[in-house]
């Protein structure tokens, strides 16, 4: 019986994010509710910052979910609802920010860092190949005599 209880609790914990829309938030019209969920999945929770308002249990996320639903009931299109939220909170509220001049570095940054790392690695490898190997150089006659002298003094002492 305990295994069954553990399995049930595990399944409940896995499914918990699906229940973030509380019963008082859910719209009667299934089509509007589906649109609200789709919009909510694309909006960032400003408290959690790493999950959508659809997944978050933060009070601000709940307020934003209600706002999305209110705007949809008022007759706004999906784009108008998103534009309204962005006008209030900025592009940061979008989980996938738009590609525009102010976000070029955000979109290109990872590729630029990868390219910079590749160039750095290539320069390092090339420089190490061109540098003379310190262990391969022969000693001059004078250096060999000094080395023998030092070694013989060490053996004597």
CA distances from 123 to 7, 8, 67, 118, 129 (A): 55, 56, 54, 9, 10
Of the listed ranges 81-95, 105-119, 139-153, the least confidently predicted one is 139-153
pLDDT of residue 91 exceeding 70? yes
Quote the pLDDT of residue 5. Answer: 54
Quote the pLDDT of residue 17. Answer: 46
Quote the pLDDT of residue 15. Answer: 47
Q: How confident is the model at residue 65 (pLDDT cuts 50, 70, 90)?
A: very high
pTM: 0.59
Quote the pLDDT of residue 102. Answer: 84
| Cβ proximity of 64 and 20 under 8 Å | no
Quote the pLDDT of residue 12. Answer: 54
> Nearest 5°: phi and psi at 73?
-65, -35
* Range 113-123 average pLDDT: 95
| Cβ proximity of 62 and 25 under 8 Å | yes
Q: How confident is the model at residue 69 (pLDDT cuts 50, 70, 90)?
A: very high
Among 66, 14, 19, 15, CA closest to 39: 66
| Cβ proximity of 21 and 57 under 8 Å | no
Q: What is the pLDDT of residues 25-50, one digit of tens each?
A: 777 788 989 999 999 999 999 898 88
Quote the pLDDT of residue 16. Answer: 47
């Amino acid at each position: 019986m305990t295994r069954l209880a553990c399995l049930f609790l595990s399944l409940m914990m896995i499914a918990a994010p699906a229940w973030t829309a509380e019963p008082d938030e859910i719209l009667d019209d299934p089509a509007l509710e589906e649109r609200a969920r789709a919009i909510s999945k694309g909006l960032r929770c400003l408290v959690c910052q790493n999950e959508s308002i659809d997944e978050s249990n933060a009070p601000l996320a709940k307020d934003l979910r209600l706002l999305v639903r209110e705007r949809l009931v008022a007759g706004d299109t999906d784009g108008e609802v998103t534009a309204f939220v962005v006008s209030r909170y900025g592009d940061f509220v979008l989980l996938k920010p738009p590609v525009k001049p102010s976000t070029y570095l955000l979109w290109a940054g990872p590729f630029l860092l990868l390219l910079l790392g590749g160039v750095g690695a290539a320069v390092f490898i090339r420089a190490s190949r061109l540098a003379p190997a310190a262990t391969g150089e022969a000693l001059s006659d004078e250096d060999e005599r000094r080395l023998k002298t030092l070694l013989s003094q060490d053996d004597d002492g």
